[in-house]
Amino acid sequence: MEITKICCIGAGYVGGPTMAVIAQKCPHLKITVVDLNQERIDAWNDENTDNIPIFEPGLSSVVAETRGKNLFFSNDVEKAIEEAQIIFISVNTPTKTYGKGKGMAADLKYIELCARQIAKVAKDNKIVVEKSTLPVRTAEAIKSILDNTGNGVQFQILSNPEFLAEGTAISDLLNPDRILIGGDQTPEGQKAIQALVDIYANWVPQDKILTTNVWSSELSKLTANAFLAQRISSINALSELCEKTGADINEVARAIGMDTRIGSKFLKASVGFGGSCFKKDILNLVYIAKSYGLNETADYWEQVIIMNDHQKKRFADKIVKTLYNTVAGKKITFLGWAFKKDTNDTRESAAIYIADDLINEQAGICVYDPKVNQKKILADLDYLETRSAAENAKSTKSFENPYDACQGAHAIAVLTEWEEFVDYDWQRIYDAMQKPAFVFDGRNILNKTEMQKIGFVYQAIGS
């Protein structure tokens, strides 16, 4: 089968950037990205590509180059499915909030809905590609739905997990460490794998394209994220020890990172990891391990999450303790709300949990984030259901610029590593704050000596 048309269900952080890059690298393919969310599709189609719903360095120019030529965004899910030979599923798979596996297992209702829709619409053979991170053996469920509810056409299911990190999505997609494609070991399965390999081969060297069976591919994605998150929890566990002993975590990280067997990446102590993947994927891994009765394995990985929750809690506690054991009625300014720099994504951001703790202590929270607005901040807090939306709105306010946000503040908490924070006029900020002026650097990005010279009481993670 010659591939000429592909579609992607889900126009989110994964689907949008991935399809934009495939469109750029494969001008011979027509690519349609569909989503149920009309507002999101309208934003992707906004005349000004700076207004697309996802902020990601370099994305807007790739979209400007390809949109309307071979890249299309639409709400017509059925038409796109019918036309395409390859269908990517890139919908959200949040952690279940109800029933069996609540708080741990992945909620597959969106995936199932997609599978049923594909089964209903497809009139010829299709290759269905799992792009969302899915627990091991999801492909089996998709296959069963497709085979039993479809119109008698043949489906091949591939697993092709996305390893892009937000904030560097475009360069990760252009220059991936590897592309992983899992499929059936049958001749038809191998043919489907080859069809997808041929697409990536337009810009990725063959030796970086890895093919495996479906289950290995699914598990590799969970495992990659678990290993990365484990490194952060390990360094964060040591950051607490450094604070007690007078060692400096940055020096420790540098010293161990120079051991090439360990390597320097993912050793930055922080207020805790966030994002849509790490927590969810580890919980998934834990759930799968438990369901096979592997309790030690489950507990081992769960500890990575426990450590991360502890790191966030510890940071909030430290602010309260340092501010003379009370923050009631005090103004605390957050610099950064996104879960990391260069993205407008806030899912599982440490800032949300720290704000929640501090609002419990009756602090007033002011926020400045270059890419996150007040509406999103309040929605994140409301989602926790700790208190009413009205109370959240009363305690939290976001600002258009950092200087207004810091005016009259008792303390500043740096929660995202946005590079622009380093270049602020910190003297001006100091002058506008209550004294003593506290800075809690949850990302270790500011210069301690300079901050102390200005007069700040400065505390960083792990030193």
Stretch that binds ligand ADP, among 9-17, 284-292, 375-383, 411-419 (CB under 6 A): 9-17
Task: State how far Cα 77 lies from the chain centre.
Answer: 25
Q: Give residue number: closest CB to ligand ADP.
A: 12
243, 460 in Cβ contact below 8 A? no
Q: Looking at beta carbons only, is 104 or 304 nearer to ligand UDX?
A: 304
For ligand ADP, the binding residue among 6, 10, 96, 289 (CB under 6 A) is: 10
For ligand UDX, the binding residue among 83, 143, 163, 448 (CB under 6 A) is: 163
188, 11 in Cβ contact below 8 A? no
For ligand ADP, the binding residue among 19, 25, 32, 35 (CB under 6 A) is: 35
340 is catalytic: no
114 is catalytic: no
For ligand UDX, the binding residue among 88, 273, 337, 353 (CB under 6 A) is: 273
Q: Return the structure tokens found at 20.
A: 């934009």
Note whether 312 binds ligand UDX by CB under 6 A: no
272, 308 in Cβ contact below 8 A? yes
Which of 62, 51, 57, 53 is closest to 10 using CA atoms?
A: 53
**Count of residues of this chain found to bind ligand ADP when the rule CB under 6 A is applied:** 21
For ligand UDX, the binding residue among 203, 215, 266, 300 (CB under 6 A) is: 266
Note whether 132 binds ligand ADP by CB under 6 A: yes
Q: Looking at beta carbons only, is 32 or 66 nearer to ligand ADP?
A: 32
- Enumerate residues 6+ apart whose C-beta is below 8 A from 9: 15, 34, 35, 77, 80, 81, 87, 88, 89, 90, 91, 114, 117
Distance of alpha carbon 213 from alpha carbon 303, whole angstroms: 29
Each residue 39-78 as x (binds ligand ADP by CB under 6 A) or -, in order, gives -x------------------------------------x-
E strand or H helix that includes residue 251: helix 249-257
Task: State how far Cα 251 lies from the chain centre.
Answer: 28
- Enumerate residues 6+ apart whose C-beta is below 8 A from 203: 25, 174
Decide: helix, strand or coil at residue 333. Answer: strand
For ligand ADP, the binding residue among 6, 7, 8, 9 (CB under 6 A) is: 9
Amino acid identity for residue 370 in this structure:
P
Note whether 281 binds ligand ADP by CB under 6 A: no
160, 179 in Cβ contact below 8 A? yes
Note whether 17 binds ligand UDX by CB under 6 A: no
Report the 10 Å Cβ neighbour count for 9: 29
Q: Please give the DSSP secondary-structure letter assigned to residue 56.
A: -
191 is catalytic: no
Q: Any bridge partners for residue 156, and if so which?
A: 127
Note whether 25 binds ligand UDX by CB under 6 A: no
Q: Return the structure tokens found at 254.
A: 């540098």
For ligand UDX, the binding residue among 17, 135, 189, 275 (CB under 6 A) is: 275
Least distance CB 163 / ligand UDX (angstroms):
4
- List the interface residues with ligand UDX, window 203-232 (CB under 6 A): 225, 228, 232
Report the 10 Å Cβ neighbour count for 289: 18
The dihedral through the CA atoms of 327, 333, 335, 339 has a sign that is positive
Note whether 14 binds ligand ADP by CB under 6 A: yes
Least distance CB 240 / ligand UDX (angstroms):
14
Q: Looking at beta carbons only, is 91 or 433 nearer to ligand ADP?
A: 91
Distance of alpha carbon 338 from alpha carbon 358, whole angstroms: 18
User: Catalytic amino acids?
Assistant: 162, 221, 277
Q: Which spans of this chain sit near ligand ADP (rule: CB under 6 A)?
A: 9-15, 34-37, 40, 77, 90-92, 110, 113-114, 132, 276
Q: Which spans of this chain sit near ligand UDX (rule: CB under 6 A)?
A: 162-166, 225, 228, 232, 266-268, 270, 273-275, 277-278, 339-340
